[in-house]
């Protein structure tokens, strides 16, 4: 078996060591104070360079451990993840923050941001511009968002974030109700009238005063009629007449409400 000359092997080893040394990334923050790291991280965050801001906040957590600046680093890192569209990382960072600092003065903001991360990723307050039916998306995230906002209002009713949280909760409730009605309509249009009745009744039982209930009643009326349940049909019709005396559904059917549900509130 042929063997490489010893000097050649030594040269290869030396080259490998040099390559390893040259590939080692120098920590540019090694001599920085925590305040400078925070300032640099904030600059990256404000400029939209979230991928650069996150590692700086992580370094700050370690350098300033046990100080308010470390807490600020955690919150800011969560915000950077949120702005970068990294919902899972944002929520995980916030949950860790709330576990480690249950008495932090920033706890209301942490709850708000946790709700916002799920809300933004799955509902999107301004997505209605595209006339997209937002209620057809993932419902778990919407419920998680609602719970975070609800906890915020319960624990910190005077928080500066309370007003916006209430508005978003209203939006979420409308979306969840509309989701139930969307499923009920899906079943009805395929002739699965019993299933349609079940989902419409769920919407009527679980939600109050939301726009989707008008369509839920209409689906009940049509489904009972299709099944020949005249008494139940007439009962649902009486509720419709009392609650929505000018219902466009009764005159024009499903097509009469082609506009997005969010226009109602």
pTM comes to 0.74
What is the per-residue pLDDT across 115-159, written as a single tens digit (0 to 9) for each?
Answer: 999 885 444 443 443 344 544 456 788 889 999 999 999 999 999
**pLDDT for residue 7:** 53
**pLDDT for residue 15:** 54
**pLDDT for residue 70:** 93
Question: And the tokens for 184?
Answer: 């009920």
What is the per-residue pLDDT across 67-85, written as a single tens digit (0 to 9) for each?
Answer: 999 999 999 999 999 999 9
Mean pLDDT of the chain: 84
Residue 263, pLDDT above cutoff 50: no
**pLDDT for residue 123:** 47
**Hey, where are the domains in the chain?**
33-105, 108-265
Q: How confident is the model at residue 255 (pLDDT cuts 50, 70, 90)?
A: low
**pLDDT for residue 165:** 96
**pLDDT for residue 18:** 53
Residue 17, pLDDT above cutoff 60: no
> Are both 33-105 and 108-265 of the same fold?
yes
Residue 13, pLDDT above cutoff 70: no
Q: Which fold has domain 108-265?
A: 1.25.40
CATH of 33-105, one of 1.10.3470, 3.30.70, 1.10.8, 1.25.40: 1.25.40
What is the per-residue pLDDT across 169-219, written as a single tens digit (0 to 9) for each?
Answer: 998 898 889 889 999 999 999 999 999 999 999 999 999 889 999 999 999
Residue 220, pLDDT above cutoff 80: yes
**pLDDT for residue 198:** 97
**pLDDT for residue 54:** 96
**pLDDT for residue 30:** 83
What average pLDDT score do residues 4-22 get?
A: 51
Tell me the percentage of the chain whose pLDDT exceeds 90. 65
**pLDDT for residue 257:** 55
Q: How confident is the model at residue 251 (pLDDT cuts 50, 70, 90)?
A: confident
What average pLDDT score do residues 81-105 get?
A: 95
């Amino acid at each position: 078996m042929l063997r490489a000359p010893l000097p050649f092997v030594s040269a290869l080893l030396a080259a490998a060591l040099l390559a390893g040394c040259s590939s080692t990334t120098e920590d540019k923050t090694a001599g920085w104070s925590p305040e400078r790291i925070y300032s640099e991280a904030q600059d990256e965050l404000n400029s939209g360079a979230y991928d650069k801001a996150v590692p700086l906040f992580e370094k700050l957590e370690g350098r300033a451990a046990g100080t308010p600046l470390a807490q600020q680093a955690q919150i800011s890192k969560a915000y950077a993840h949120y702005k970068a569209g990294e919902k899972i990382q944002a929520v995980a960072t916030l949950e860790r923050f709330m576990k480690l600092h249950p008495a932090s003065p920033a706890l209301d903001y942490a709850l708000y941001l946790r709700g916002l991360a799920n809300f933004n990723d799955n509902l999107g307050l301004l997505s209605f511009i595209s006339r997209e039916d937002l209620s057809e998306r993932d419902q778990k995230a919407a419920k998680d968002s609602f719970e975070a906002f609800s906890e915020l209002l319960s624990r910190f009713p005077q928080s500066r974030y309370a007003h916006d949280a209430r508005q978003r909760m209203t939006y979420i409730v409308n979306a969840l109700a509309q989701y139930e009605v969307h499923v009920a309509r899906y079943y009805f249009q395929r002739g699965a009238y019993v299933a349609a009745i079940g989902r419409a009744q769920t919407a009527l039982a679980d939600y109050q005063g939301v726009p989707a209930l008008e369509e839920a009643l209409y689906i009940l009326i049509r489904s009972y009629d299709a099944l020949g349940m005249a008494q139940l049909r007439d009962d649902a019709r009486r509720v419709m007449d009392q609650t929505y005396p000018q219902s466009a559904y009764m005159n024009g059917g499903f097509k009469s409400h082609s506009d997005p549900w969010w226009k109602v509130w």
